[in-house]
Structures are given as C-alpha cells and as structure tokens.
Amino acid sequence: MEKYLVSLDTNKVKNYVFATNKLKEIVGASSLLAELNEEITIKCAKKHEGKCIFAGGGSALFVFYKKNKAHDFVAEIERTYIEKTKKATIASAIVEIPQSQEENNFIKALNQAEKCLKRKKANNNPSTNLVYLEPYFEPCHHCGNYPIIKHIELNDNDLLLCEVCFTKRSYALKVENENLRPRKYFIDYFSKLNQGLKFPNTLEELGEMDRSNGYIAYIYADGNAFGNFIQKHLDSEEKLTAFSEILKSAINTTIAKSIEPFIQNNKFPFIPVLIGGDDLILITPGSRALSIANNFLIQFQQFLQNGLRDKNLDIDATQLSMSMGVTISHSKYPLLSFHDMSKSLLQNAKSLYQDIYIKSGKQISTVDFKVISSSTSKSLDQIIDGEYKLSKDHWATCRPYPCFEVEGFSRPTFTNLLNVAATLSSKHFPKNKLMRWKDIVYTKESINALELISFGASLKMEEKILMETSTKSLGLATYKNLFFQENFLTTDYFTPLIDLVEIFNFV
C-alpha cells in the first residue's frame, strides 16, 4: 500500500499575529490560527481520508494513503487559510513514505518533508501577499498595510480598519464571548471547582489585578531543542502522535497548576495569548508573573513525565526543558515592546541553557527577566552593557537564572532568588536599607568596605540576622560580600543584589 506524509507549517506566524500593537488583534489572530491549525485542518484532512499525527503550534503532520487525496487536501487547506484570515498562508510538503522493510523509513520521510518545507518557507515572499494600495485609499489605522474597509464606533475613539485587522478583531470578540481556544482548556479544567471563572480582556484590567500600581508581565517561553529530541526518541508515527498529545496536555496542565494559587474574585490571573507546540505567551499581573513563571518551569517536567508514564512511553522527561523571558512593566507600556524585550530575554535564557547543556549534559530550564519602570527604549544588549556590566569580569546581576541546581554551578536558582525576596518582603525588611545595600555594588572597590561597615551599623539585630540568612541562600558568604566568583561557565564575579531589589515589589 502506498503511503504519503503531508507536512504543513504556517508561514510567518509571528508577523501575522504581531502586525499591530493591539491586544485584541493579537489575541484574535493567534486564536484564529489555532482554530485553523488544531480544528479546521484536522477536519479537512479527515474529509480527504487523511490520518492526523499531530497538529499544533502552527504546524501539522498527516498520513495519506492516496496521492491525489493528499494533493486535494493541501489545495483545500491552503485556500481555507487565505479565506479565513485574508492574509496568513501555509506551506506544505508531500513526501512518499517508502514501504520497504528498512528501519527508519518514517524518520527519513519526515526529514525529507522538513527540508522541503524549509525551502518553500524561505521562498515565501511576503510582498506577493500584499494588496496594492492605491494612492487615494487611506491605509488602515492599526497595521497601515491595507485600505480601510470598516468603520467601528467605540466610546472614546473610532476605529478605521482594513479587512485583515477587522477579521482578527471580530474573532477576538468571539474568543472572549465564547471562551474559544486557548481559553477553552482552562474553563473546562476548572469547571468542577468553579463555574463562573472569567478571563480579563484588557491590559488595564490585568494591571488592576496587580498589587503594585498597574503593572503587567509578558511571559514568553519556548521548548529547548525539542526538534532534536523528536529526532532521537520518536521514530514512529505512533510514538510521535502519542507524544504530541502528551506534550499539549502537559503544557496546559502546568499552566493551570501554576496560575491556580492566584485565582481571585472569579477571575483568571492571566490572558493566554499563544499556546501551541512548545511555544507559550501569557500576560499576567506584574506581581504574579515571577511566581507563575517559576511554578511553570519547576513543574513542567513532572507533568510531562506523568503523561509519558500514563501512555507507557519509555522516555525520560528530564531530557526536555524550557526557557523563558519575562518582562514586567506598566500596562501602558507598548505591547510590541513587551514582546520584543521578552523575546530577547528568552534568547538570553536559552544561551544559559545551551552553556549548561554543553558543560554538564544536563537539560536545565532557565529564565531571564527585566522590570522596566521608566519609558525606556533600550534594547536588552544596551541594558546588559550599560547596567549589568561593571568591569570586564564583574557583573551587577546573576541573570539569567537556572531553575534547578547544577553541580558545580554556583549561581543561585530562580527559586532561591524568589524565596529570599518573599522572605524579606513578608518580614517587612525596609526597602530603603535594601536600596542602600544595592547601591554599594556600584561604589568603587576602595570605598565599599567602609560603606559596608557603616551599612552594617545601621541594621537592627533582627535585620542583620535576616540579611545573613538571605545572603547565604543566594551564594554570598556574608552580607559584607557583594560578589561571588563563578567557576563553572566563567571565572567572573556576580552579585544577586540588584536582581533582588528589582523584583522586591513583584513577589
């Protein structure tokens, strides 16, 4: 019997989803793509007698037993993407799976399909999707790319939108009113406990749920080298299908468990922007973000392992880890700046993951974060050079953080940092004293010994004891040591004090 593998991948997902700065359009775009990917594509494949191996995160994989059916399916789904979104397109590859007795036929076909998709995606020229804008048409007020076709009257200002933005916006309203994916999972998950749970719909609403003056956080996470893992461990259709289901459920369950402690007044403490494949974007109240982030990264492997065990897949979940970038700022800070900063932080966290992996062979989840309290337009690289780098081997930070201890690696874990901040905060350690301690980091080495003595003299006995226990769990010998030397990845000196002060209001 002949057999064909059909591989699909949405073109330029992030360009489509983040084409405007508006939460509604971003949520609408992301949810519309998820519906196309996880529901419409699967239905369409079934209609053409295809079997789904997985669908998620904008890509999908199917098996067909007739060549013409595979081609009919691809033609129909390509058309559907344009019809539904007016803009987003999907790339496809059809590869025959050899039916010889040889091993690894499936993996070989999968690799071939992947190469073919990569080539097609590289040739996908966005200008071919552009509508020609006549000079006498006024362009859309949100994306600026297409002519205005809709005038929506709102309370404070009217919206003049193109067809693409209008489609996203209309879908967002459907997501909000009917709790469509990615919200549906959480409504169902908590339905036994609480029937009336609602999602916040605006950034202001999330900001109001924050203890510290309208701050929100943009959490961006991504799996570390999941592609390599799949190549190595999932060599058959059956294993890949089972694993995709387990991964989807593990990610959703981990999110649900991570946010559960912060549900208040019948409201979810987050807006899910994108959940698909190993990709994750959530927006939360500022003061909840770091705990939610840590809960997620600490528990993910456990929920994944539970799922693998339930489905009798003999795979060790500690071989998979995730990295995360978290930006905390005021709800008025531009959404695309949140996105860009979290993306840079995620990349930074990923390089720490990579360094640890190369050195120790261990898969360790990592996180980087930044609190932005003024309207800065600095990039993360500028912040690292301007704020963190004190000299060629001294750093005013320990970021990014590992989520678990690594033997020989002396930086504190993210849990250590959060626990110390939470203890100091719950014991009402005076913020001004913490600030003074932090400021000594920036003074010249010749003066800071004196400064530390006078700082020590200003502390009450119970404050001194609190400082000693705090510094110990952060890897500093005493509170009079501002830096520790790290001999695992570098021989540089690091201090966690700046990080501690930065997150003090957000634990």
Chain residues in the site for Zn ion (CB under 5 A): 140, 142-143, 162, 165
Q: At which residue do the structure tokens 């509508």 appear?
A: 131
C-beta of 157: minimal distance to Zn ion in Å?
16
Please say which residue, 147 or 456, places its beta carbon nearer to Zn ion.
147
SS3 category, 456: helix
Please say which residue, 102 or 138, places its beta carbon nearer to Zn ion.
138
Residue 204: name the closest of 331, 50, 312 by CA: 331
Consecutive H or E run containing 55: strand 51-56
Please say which residue, 146 or 504, places its beta carbon nearer to Zn ion.
146
Number of C-alpha atoms within 13 angstroms, CB side, residue 128? 6
Consecutive H or E run containing 340: helix 335-360
C-beta of 169: minimal distance to Zn ion in Å?
9
Please say which residue, 131 or 230, places its beta carbon nearer to Zn ion.
131
Strands 279-285, 271-276: pairing kind: antiparallel
Residue 438's CB is within 10 A of a number of other CB atoms, namely: 19
C-beta of 171: minimal distance to Zn ion in Å?
14
For 276, phi then psi, to 5°, come to -165, 140
Cβ 246 vs Cβ 304: under 8 Å? yes
C-beta of 17: minimal distance to Zn ion in Å?
13
Please say which residue, 146 or 494, places its beta carbon nearer to Zn ion.
146
Q: What is 73-123 written as a DSSP string?
A: HHHHHHHHHHHHHSS--EEEEEEEPP-SS-TTHHHHHHHHHHHHHHHHHHT
C-beta of 146: minimal distance to Zn ion in Å?
5
Please say which residue, 28 or 277, places its beta carbon nearer to Zn ion.
28
C-beta of 68: minimal distance to Zn ion in Å?
38
Strands 366-372, 401-402: pairing kind: antiparallel
C-beta of 176: minimal distance to Zn ion in Å?
20
Please say which residue, 87 or 183, places its beta carbon nearer to Zn ion.
87
